[in-house]
Every structure is written in structure tokens, then in C-alpha cells.
Amino acid sequence: MMLPSRERIYYGFDDGNGAAVFVSASGQQMAPLPLRCDIVNHSPTGFAWGYAGTGPAQLALAILADYFGCAHAARALHQLFKFAAISGIQEKHWSMTGRDIAHVFEKLCRDHPWLDRLTLFEDGTTMQVVDKYTERSGEFGRLAAVIPHDQSEANDELVLILNDGMEVTLYRDQVSARPVQWIRD
């Protein structure tokens, strides 16, 4: 598994009137963690933790989208992460580092060996889209991620960033294109 080496710390606070989560990148000042309802809208009212509901699912999604820098990887893996890390947080105030996230995925790989194929590339190989069913066929882009969905390598999702900034996803027999939502430091 190739995960990003982002120095991030996530801080959760719950004063009884609502939960707030902040992120600090590489020693920078804390900033609110975006909900990322644009990826999946589990809980538009906010984050939660300590149980396996919609608020914890939204938190897992938002943390992974920020940490991975990849909406597709966050969408594919946030439920596993929710059960492995978020639903067990019992404290009102907590912190989670990038190293903590990497440890969670190391443990998940022991139970789900196919997760070891997860790869996020900072500077991926240039590839050409050759799928005849997409209007973007023939264009070149940078391989950004390989996202496993189960034991079968045939079900791995490939994410390419085209030269014009569009994101092309190749998953099974489906192809989609949309503006890039990658987060870069």
C-alpha cells in the first residue's frame, strides 16, 4: 500500500452543543475540516464520532478526502475507516495524526489483504485513455490512484488526471469524467 506522507493532525471537539473538527497541516494553523458532502452526503448537519452512524461516516469521508487528497479513494474506503477508527472514539476531545491513519490502514490490510493494492501517486506515470466509450479517448493524463474495491484486481478503479485538469475514472465497465477535486499541499 502506498499512502501519502502528509503531515496532518485532525482535532475533534464536542462541547455538547455540536461537534467541530479541525485540521492542521505541517505545523500550520488549524482550519475547519470541510464536510465534503460533494463526495457523499451522509450528514449535512455535521460530524460525529463514537458510534457507527451517518455523522461518523461523514467524518471518516472528510478525513480520508483530506489525508488522501483523493475523493475517489475517500468514497471507496470511508466506511471501512469509520468502523476501524471513528466509531470507537469515545472522548469528547481527540486528535488523530497521519501516522495514526496509516496504522489503521496497516491493520485493515491484515483483515482485507486486497487493500494493500491501494496506491496514491504524487507523480504518476503518464497514460493515454484508450477506452472507446469515453469522449476523452486518445487524451493523455497522469495516473493518480489505483483504488481496490475487493479481492479481484479486475475491480480496481484507476483515476487519471488529464492535462486539462479533468479527472477520468475507469472502473469496471464505467468511465466518468469531471473536474479534479484533488487536494494538494
pLDDT digits (tens, 9 = 90+) for 126-136: 878 776 666 77
Using only the alpha carbons of the chain, give its radius of gyration: 17
C-beta of residue 35 within 8 angstroms of C-beta of residue 46: yes
Task: Tell whether the model's pLDDT for residue 90 goes beyond 90.
Answer: yes
Residues contacting 29, CB < 8 A, separation 6+ = none
To the question of domain 119-179 being in CATH 3.30.9, the answer is no
The residues spanned by each domain of the chain are 8-113, 119-179
The model carries a pTM of 0.80
Sign of the dihedral defined by the CA atoms of residues 155, 35, 42, 11, in that order: positive
Task: Tell whether the model's pLDDT for residue 92 goes beyond 90.
Answer: yes
Give the three cell numbers for residue 79. 466506511
Residue type at position 45: T
- Between CA 148 and CA 172 the distance in angstroms is 11
pLDDT digits (tens, 9 = 90+) for 15-57: 988 899 999 987 789 999 999 999 999 998 899 999 999 999 9
Q: Specify the higher pLDDT residue, 47 or 155.
A: 47
C-beta of residue 33 within 8 angstroms of C-beta of residue 62: yes
Residue type at position 29: Q
